[in-house]
Amino acid sequence: MGEGMPTMLYDHGAVPICRAERGGRVESVHLGHAVVVGPDGVREAWGDPSAAIFPRSSCKMFQALPMLEAGLDPGPERLALACASHDGAAIHTGRVGAWMRDLGLSDDDFRCGAHEPKDRAARDALIRSGEGPRQVHNNCSGKHAGFLAMTKHLGAGPDYVDPGHPLQRAVRAAFEEVTGEESPGYGIDGCSAPNFVCTLEGLARGAMRFATAREGDARGRAMIAAREAMMRHPDLVAGEGRACTVLMRATSEPVALKTGAEGVFLAILPGRGLGVAVKAADGATRAAESAVAEILVRLGALDPAHPGARAFRDPVQRNWRGIETGRIAPAL
C-alpha cells in the first residue's frame, strides 16, 4: 500500500476528453486518458494508457471471478448485482437481501458500510419510515454479497475485506492475471475492500479478455457468465437514469459497461473482441461518461442520435427552471 512516490497523473500527458460549455463558451475542461485494446494489443489511445490508476468499481467483474471459478453460480440477476454499483432501489436491495438470507447472513455481516440509496423513491421511503440506511443500501452491497458467498465457500473468517483474507488474495491473483500486470499496490475503496492498482491499458486488457472469453475453461465460462449477466440486466448494474444502465440499453450491439468512482469507465464489446477503459484525470464522472460514450460512437457501437447517447455523450445542461444553459461536448 502506497509503495514509492505517488504516481503523477498529470505528468502522463492527459489530454482533453470533454468540455463543459455555457452560453457558447467553454466553462470547464476535463483531461484524461482512454484506450481501446484488442487481442493484438492497443488499437487506439488518448493520453497515456500506461498511467497507473485505481479502477475502483469498474473492475467488479474481475472481483467476481474467484466466486464463479469456484463453481458458485448465483444466477444472472445476482451476478449482475455482484458486478453492480446500484442505486439501492427496491429491485436491487430486495434481491441482495434475499441472497444474504439464502446465505444465512444478515445486514450486520456486510463490511461495506451504510449510505443513503441514490434511488429517489427508495430514499424518500426510508426517510419517511424514520429508519436510517442499512448496508444493503450501499451501492456495492451486491459485490459484497458475492464476497460473502465466496467467503462461506472458503470457510474463511468474517473480515472478508482484509487484504490478507483468503478471498482478497484470490481476488488479487485473478486481477493480476486478467490485467496481465503485477499490481504495485492497493488503496482502500469506498466500500472498504482493497482496490488494486493497474495501468489503464491493463484495465482495458482485462475488459478485452472478458470480451473474447471462450467456454473452454473455468475462467472463460466465468467471464462469459459475468458479461452476459450484466448485458441481460442493465437495470441491476446501476439504475434508472444512470449511465451504465442507459448506455447498455442504447448500444446497437451487446456491450457490458461499468463505471468506477473518480472518473473511471470500462466497456466490454464481445461482438468486436475489444475492451475499453477511460480515466478522467480529475476524477469527474461526467467526463468519463461522455468519453466512454464517445468511444462507443467512434467504434460504431452507439448511434450518437440515440437519446441514451445524447444523455451522456453530449448532454444538454438545463437549470432548475429547465432552461438550456449549455452542454457537455466530447473533445477526444
Q: What does the binding site for its own copies look like in residue numbers (CB under 8 A)?
A: 1-3, 6-10, 14, 16, 19-31, 52-54, 111-115, 124, 127-128, 138, 185-192, 195, 197, 262-263, 280-284, 287, 319-326
Q: How far is the CB of 10 from its own copies (least distance, A)?
A: 5
Q: How far apart, in Å, are the Cα atoms of 56 and each of 78, 263, 332?
A: 20, 9, 23
On the CB side of 225, CA atoms within 13 Å amount to 26
For its own copies, the closer CB: 101 or 318: 318
Q: Could you give the CA distance from residue 30 to residue 36 in angstroms, rounded to a whole number? A: 19
Taking the complex as a whole, how short is the minimal distance between the CB of residue 106 and its own copies, in angstroms? 17
Are the CB atoms for 134 and 88 separated by under 8 Å?
no
- Identify which of 98, 111, 85, 215 has the alpha carbon closest to the alpha carbon of residue 167: 111
Q: Which is nearer to its own copies, 79 or 332 (CB)?
A: 332
- Burial class, 166, CB count within 10 angstroms (exposed 0-12 / middle 13-18 / buried 19+): middle
Please report where in the chains the cell 468519453 appears, as a residue.
Answer: 291
Minimum distance from CB of 51 to its own copies (Å)? 10
Q: Residue 124 burial by CB count (10 A; 0-12/13-18/19+): exposed, middle or buried?
A: exposed
Closer by beta carbon to its own copies, 111 or else 227: 111
User: Mind giving me the DSSP string for 153-190?
Assistant: HHT--S-TTSTTSHHHHHHHHHHHHHHTS----EEE-T
Single out the residue of 269, 265, 263, 324 nearest to residue 293, CA to CA: 265
Q: Which is nearer to its own copies, 234 or 330 (CB)?
A: 330
Cβ distance to its own copies smaller for residue 25 or 155? 25
Minimum distance between the CB of residue 279 and its own copies, rounded to whole angstroms? 9
In terms of CB distance, is 162 or 303 closer to its own copies?
Answer: 162
Smaller CB distance to its own copies: residue 53 or 309?
A: 53
What is the rounded CA–CA span in Å between residue 29 and residue 192? Answer: 31
CB 166, min distance to its own copies, A: 21
Strand, helix or coil for residue 41 = strand
Give min distance, CB of 329 to its own copies, in A: 9
**Four-residue CA torsion sign, 221, 222, 227, 233:** positive
Residue 132: CB minimum distance to its own copies, A:
11
Which CB sits closer to its own copies, 16 or 38? 16
Between 20 and 149, name the residue whose CB sits nearer to its own copies: 20
Residue pair 309/302 in contact by the 8 Å Cβ criterion: yes
Q: Give the nearest distance from C-beta 266 to its own copies in angstroms.
A: 16
CB of 117 to its own copies, least distance (A): 13
Half-sphere exposure of 158 (CA within 13 A, CB side): 7
Find, among 149, 168, 157, 171, the residue nearest to 66 by Cα. 171
Using the Cα atoms of residue 54, residue 186, residue 87 and residue 146 in order, give the sign of their dihedral: positive
